[in-house]
């Protein structure tokens, strides 16, 4: 067990996600509750290197639970990947008398924390914050539920115009290498087909399915595609290919892009962030380190950071079957 924790540093790192502010608020308020100090570190590891710190008390985080983005800002730091960078960061952490770190982000963020711990023994706890839901050790990452709602609201709008004009839309959503957003938002939005990295549908089956869908009386269709889907074509090439080979619909493409990262967090994400924020502080106070907090079967659980980074959060194959049945 390490020394007694009297001051905790909290940061957000990597891609931002809705609910990060709710997590920051929870960390800060839990520190206040246990009468320990809390320091915000701006711009993730880069702010650690630049000693870009701010003292946070319970009132500093008023009225942020409902805001998208992160008041602590985020970045990816190349300098922190160097030994010199990390040494500078440690110097600043030591000078600021920070005894433990709470790292809100994804794989890259957690890896940074582990390396830093190995070198300087600063205890750290990770909170999974990313819209992609691609982290092992939690059923849900903070921001994912909000992103799903953002995506279906946009597809609902696209469907208005798709069905008014009998069009076929290809909608590209985020997800890095994981189909969580595409599969869940696809089912939620009533998409006819969903292309995810975890399952290679193949162009022929896609065409066949769209033809069947047309025959069955559907006048418009939505296909949801994960960015960087492994089908070997960009969403625009895919759309062209389908338009040429199907010749039954006008085809249009919509790339949703960064709007998926923003917006006021859903209730689910705010509650999740609050629960994980409380637990993360309590783990540090209990002398723990190198753990990620997560939600497994509706309970707050912990996973070794190492496992969280190396493991793979598998997609729910049952949902693929549901999607197939729904698109009849």
Residue 115 CB neighbours (<10 A): 14
Residue 131 annotated as binding site: yes
Cα 153 from chain centroid?
A: 18
Give min distance, CB of 118 to a copy of itself, in A.
Answer: 28
Nearer to a copy of itself, 117 or 268 (CB): 268
Cα 220 from chain centroid?
A: 31
Residue 293 annotated as binding site: no
Residue 192 annotated as binding site: yes
**Sign of the C-alpha dihedral, residues 260, 262, 266, 272?**
positive
Tell me the C-alpha distance between 69 and 63, whole Å. Answer: 13
Question: Phi and psi for 214 in degrees, rounded to 5?
Answer: -65, -45
Nearer to a copy of itself, 1 or 267 (CB): 267
Residue 190 annotated as binding site: yes
Tell me the C-alpha distance between 87 and 59, whole Å. Answer: 32
Give min distance, CB of 233 to a copy of itself, in A.
Answer: 19
Nearer to a copy of itself, 85 or 263 (CB): 263
Tell me the C-alpha distance between 144 and 75, whole Å. Answer: 19
Please list the active-site residues: 132
Cβ 173 vs Cβ 158: under 8 Å: no
Give min distance, CB of 22 to a copy of itself, in A.
Answer: 8
Give min distance, CB of 174 to a copy of itself, in A.
Answer: 11
**Sign of the C-alpha dihedral, residues 28, 34, 35, 41?**
negative
Residue 132 annotated as binding site: yes
Nearer to a copy of itself, 74 or 290 (CB): 74
Number of helical H runs and strand E runs in the chain: 11, 11
Which residues contribute to the annotated binding site for ATP?
A: 15, 76-77, 106-109
Which residues contribute to the annotated binding site?
A: 15, 25-29, 76-77, 106-109, 130-132, 159, 167, 174-176, 190-192, 218-220, 227, 252, 258-261
């Amino acid at each position: 067990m390490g020394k007694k924790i009297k001051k905790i540093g909290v940061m957000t790192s990597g891609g931002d996600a809705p609910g990060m502010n709710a997590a920051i608020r929870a960390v800060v308020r839990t520190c206040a509750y246990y009468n320990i100090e809390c320091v915000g570190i701006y711009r993730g590891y880069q702010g650690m290197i630049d000693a870009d710190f701010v003292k946070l008390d319970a009132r500093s985080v008023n009225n942020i639970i409902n805001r998208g983005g992160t008041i602590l800002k985020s970045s990816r730091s190349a300098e922190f990947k160097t030994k010199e960078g990390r040494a500078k960061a440690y110097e600043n952490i030591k000078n600021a008398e920070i005894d433990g770190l709470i790292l809100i982000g994804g794989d890259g963020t957690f890896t940074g924390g582990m390396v830093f711990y190995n070198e300087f023994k600063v205890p750290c706890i990770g909170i999974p914050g990313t819209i992609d839901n691609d982290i092992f050790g939690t059923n849900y990452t903070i921001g994912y539920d909000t992103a799903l709602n953002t995506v279906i609201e946009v597809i609902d709008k696209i469907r208005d115009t798709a069905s008014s004009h009998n069009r076929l839309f290809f909608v590209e959503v985020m997800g890095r290498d994981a189909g969580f957003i595409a599969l869940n938002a696809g089912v939620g939005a009533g998409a006819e087909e969903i292309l995810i990295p975890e399952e290679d549908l193949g162009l022929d089956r896609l065409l066949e399915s769209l033809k069947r869908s047309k025959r069955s009386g559907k006048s418009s269709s939505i296909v949801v595609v994960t960015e960087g889907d492994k089908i070997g074509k960009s969403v625009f090439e895919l759309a062209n290919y389908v338009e040429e080979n199907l010749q039954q619909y006008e085809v249009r493409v919509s790339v949703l892009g960064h709007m998926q990262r923003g917006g006021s967090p859903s209730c689910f994400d705010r509650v999740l962030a609050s629960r994980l924020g409380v637990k993360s502080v309590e783990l540090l106070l209990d002398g723990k380190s190198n753990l990620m907090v997560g939600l497994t079967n509706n309970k707050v659980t912990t996973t070794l950071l190492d496992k969280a980074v190396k493991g793979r959060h598998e997609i729910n194959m049952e949902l693929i079957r549901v999607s197939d049945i729904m698109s009849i």
